[in-house]
Amino acid sequence: GAGVSQSPSNKVTEKGKDVELRCDPISGHTALYWYRQSLGQGLEFLIYFQGNSAPDKSGLPSDRFSAERTGGSVSTLTIQRTQQEDSAVYLCASSFDSQGAGEQYFGPGTRLTVT
Amino acid sequence: GEDVEQSLFLSVREGDSSVINCTYTDSSSTYLYWYKQEPGAGLQLLTYIFSNMDMKQDQRLTVLLNKKDKHLSLRIADTQTGDSAIYFCAESSTGGGNKLTFGTGTQLKVEL
């Protein structure tokens, strides 16, 4: 079966523009997580969804960041008015649910570069 | 808040055992994980251990957990060049939606 997919794989944008990053989880996985990997901050949790609800958004760095999930499947992470410090690899993971061992399977990531 | 620490680098010879160490601070950690990241690739789940266990073995991988000292280790037996990668430990707590808190990552270099 297919794993977690993310698009685009690379995105270069100018400072101040908005970007949308997409994640397609493994079919049947109800939990979906967004993380960010950057040189300065390592791997950081951003937000997670159980179904279409986001019980924990505590990792979103500012109100320029938002995410949604529709139909319990695809999720979109939106960054408005991008800044250079937003440059990072954005990773999406999914798991069967958000309880128990909750083994998370990661996608290949979207590398975002803000110029 | 939670904090997970790892040493940054480890170099071993092919065929030797590698031991990657991790310490964490969250006493409510329920599960502890090891992930592998090869250059340009995503994170691959290697293994995980429940906090009430002290050891788990899976082929060449052995995970040891000392809950009292909040110390986790990953031993790779007969290390191969294909094991060269960055290894991340991570912890999660049930009741927190299993969001992962990652360590800084240990870069393992396997030399011939």
pLDDT tens-place string over residues A27-69: 999 999 999 999 878 899 999 999 999 999 999 999 999 999 9
Separation between Cα atoms, residue B74 and residue B72, nearest integer Å:
7
Query: Is pLDDT of B1 > 80?
Result: no
Backbone dihedral angles phi then psi of residue B92, each to the nearest 5 degrees: -145, 160
Distance CA B22, CA A99 (A): 24
Would you call B82 an interface residue with chain A, using a CB distance cutoff of 8 Å? no
The 10s digit of each residue's pLDDT in B71-106 is: 999 999 999 999 999 999 999 876 778 889 999 999
Structure tokens at B94: 């049930």
Instruction: Give the pLDDT confidence score for residue B56 in this predicted structure.
Output: 94
Residue-level pLDDT at B29? 79
Average pLDDT of chain A, as a whole number: 94
How close A42 comes to chain B (CA, Å)? 6
pLDDT at B52: 86
Tokens coding A72: 């319990």
What per-residue confidence (pLDDT) applies to A31? 94
Confidence of residue A102 (pLDDT cuts 50, 70, 90): confident
Contacts of A42 in chain B (CB under 8 A): 102-105
SS3 content of chain A, % helix, strand, coil (to 5): 5, 50, 45
Is B42 an interface residue toward A (CB < 8 Å)? Answer: yes
For residue A40, what pLDDT is reported? 77
Q: Which chain B residue shows the shortest CA-CA distance from A92?
A: B42
Q: Which residue has the higher pLDDT, B33 or A98?
A: B33
Residues of chain B positioned with their CB less than 8 A from the CB of A55? 97
Backbone angles phi, psi at B70, to 5 degrees: 55, 50
Question: At residue A67, what is the residue type?
Answer: A
* Predicted pLDDT of residue B22: 96
| B99 reaches A (C-beta below 8 A) | yes
Q: Which residues contact A99 (CB under 8 A, 6 or more apart)?
A: B94, B98
Q: Specify the pairing of strand A110-114 against strand A10-13.
A: parallel
> What DSSP character marks residue A25?
P
B88 neighbourhood in chain A, CB within 8 Å: 43
For A53, half-sphere exposure in the C-beta direction (CA atoms, 13 angstrom radius) is: 5
Share of chain B above pLDDT 90, in %: 74
Backbone torsion region of residue A109, taken as left when φ is above 0, otherwise alpha when ψ lies between -120 and 50, otherwise beta: left
Q: Which residue of A has its CA nearest to B41?
A: A108
Retrieve residue A85's tokens.
Answer: 């410090």
Instruction: Judge whether residue B21 has pLDDT over 70.
Output: yes
Distance, in Å, from the CA atom of B19 to the CA atom of B35, rounded to the nearest integer, reads 14
* Spatial contact of B12 and B32, defined as CB atoms under 8 Å apart: no
